[in-house]
């Protein structure tokens, strides 16, 4: 397999994996859960709390998102706090 083909496959895989970077929602979704499609229960909860959608990110954004959340700084951390209060 060529490097270009491997890189393309890696990008396609990264584009299909999503990470929930919000606080744990009991019986629905744990913090930093990964999935290829958004689970129905999480989608239903996002209808109640639309900010949840801002915390479902492609795997390629995971590192930066985790740094913001654990560093307690940045727009994702602010959204994290708002979702946590709404739960």
What range defines the domain where residue 70 resides? Answer: 3-86
Mean pLDDT (whole number) for 11-33:
85
User: pTM of the prediction?
Assistant: 0.79
* Beta carbons within 8 Å of 63's beta carbon, 6+ residues apart: none
Q: Helix 75-86 to helix 62-71 angle, to the nearest 10 degrees?
A: 70
- Res. 10 pLDDT band, cuts 50 70 90: low
Domain count, the chain: 1
What integer best gives the mean pLDDT of the chain?
88
pLDDT tens, position by position, 26-68: 999 999 999 999 999 999 999 999 999 999 999 999 999 999 9
Nearest Cα neighbor of 20 from 81, 66, 72 is 66
């Amino acid at each position: 397999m060529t490097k270009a083909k491997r890189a393309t496959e890696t990008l396609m895989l990264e584009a299909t994996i999503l990470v929930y970077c919000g606080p744990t929602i009991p019986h629905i979704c744990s913090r930093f859960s990964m999935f290829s499609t958004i689970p129905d229960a999480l989608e239903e909860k996002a209808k109640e709390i639309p900010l949840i959608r801002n915390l479902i990110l492609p795997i390629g954004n995971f590192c930066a998102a985790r740094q913001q959340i654990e560093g307690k700084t940045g727009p994702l951390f602010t959204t994290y706090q708002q979702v946590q209060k709404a739960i």
